[in-house]
Amino acid sequence: MSSFPSCIQLRALAALLLVAAILLQPGPASGHEAVLPGTEARMLGCPSHSNPSGLKLWIHVKQWCALPAVRGQAQFKLQMQIHNRDQEHSLDISQSHMRLVVREFDPDRWTPPRHGPTTHDRPIRTTYGGETVWAVPANADSAFDTNPIRGVPENLTFATHWGLARLGPGATLNPGYHEGDLVFYVPAPHRHGAIENVVGMAYLKGHEIIALCHPEDWGPREEAGDF
């Protein structure tokens, strides 16, 4: 057996060092925000492009998980980091702005959770890189379904833990356990694998994709119960 650390171990060590650096920085009292040094903040995520709204931000999928859900759908759980690069204005980070962008999507087969709060947002068609894509909304906060795994009693689907509205000037969302989590249902595609069908995680303003992180830029895939 090799004595060298694995990629997972190295990534875990890097994450611990980053968390330590964040915790040593002074920040606002809210546990949902911490201000990172400018250089570090610029390097962490996928930046926004030039847009008519003048929004300046980056987004990053800190960690994620994907498993079968219910009614022929897959479920993706993503924990988000968001940085507001605007030093003068706050950023709207309401859940409706956060979308999972996919290539193949059948809206007739998409059904949000049937327990808990109702999911009011609906999938929309838009374009990215000259390609027509679908932007899928996250399930409502705390909504869920029962028994996604046959033969396993009393199991539930993942749940969104968001409840966030705005991010202050220059601030960064650095979520902890059961914070900053978004859960998406996506009908199983016919022409792609579940993850291959994903274009990326995006921040939208209306139908315009302002920032997008491709899956290869996401953080590590982890057990859903770990975050």
Write the pLDDT tens digit of every residue in 158-216: 999 999 999 999 999 999 999 999 999 999 998 888 899 999 999 999 999 999 999 99
All residues at 6 or more sequence positions from 95 whose CB lies less than 8 Å from its CB, including other chains = 121, 137, 138, 141, 160, 162, 164, 182
Place of tokens 């929004």: 55
- Predicted model pTM: 0.80
Q: How open is the CA angle 7-11-12, to the nearest 5 degrees?
A: 115
Residue 63 lies in a domain: yes
Residue 2 lies in a domain: no
pLDDT in tens, 117-171: 999 999 999 999 999 999 999 999 999 999 877 777 678 999 999 999 999 999 9
- Identify the pLDDT of residue 212: 98
Mean local confidence (pLDDT), 65-90: 96
Residue 59 in this model has a pLDDT that exceeds 70: yes
Query: Taking Cα atoms as reference points, which of 78, 79, 66, 100 lies closest to residue 32?
Result: 79
Residue 218 lies in a domain: yes
Question: What DSSP assignment string belongs to 22-79?
Answer: HHTS---S-TTEEPPPHHHHHHHSEEPPP-TT---EEEEEEEEEEEE-STTEEEEEEE
Residue 117 lies in a domain: yes
Q: Are 75 and 61 in contact (CB under 8 A)?
A: no
Q: Could you give the number of structural domains in the chain?
A: 1
**DSSP-derived 3-state class of residue 121:** coil
Amino acid identity of residue 1, one-letter, is: M
Cα–Cα distance measured from residue 227 to residue 221, given in angstroms and rounded to the nearest whole number: 11
Q: Are 75 and 69 in contact (CB under 8 A)?
A: yes
Residue 35 lies in a domain: yes
Give residue 119's domain range. Answer: 7-226
Residue 1 in this model has a pLDDT that exceeds 80: no
Residue 1 lies in a domain: no
Mean pLDDT of the chain: 84
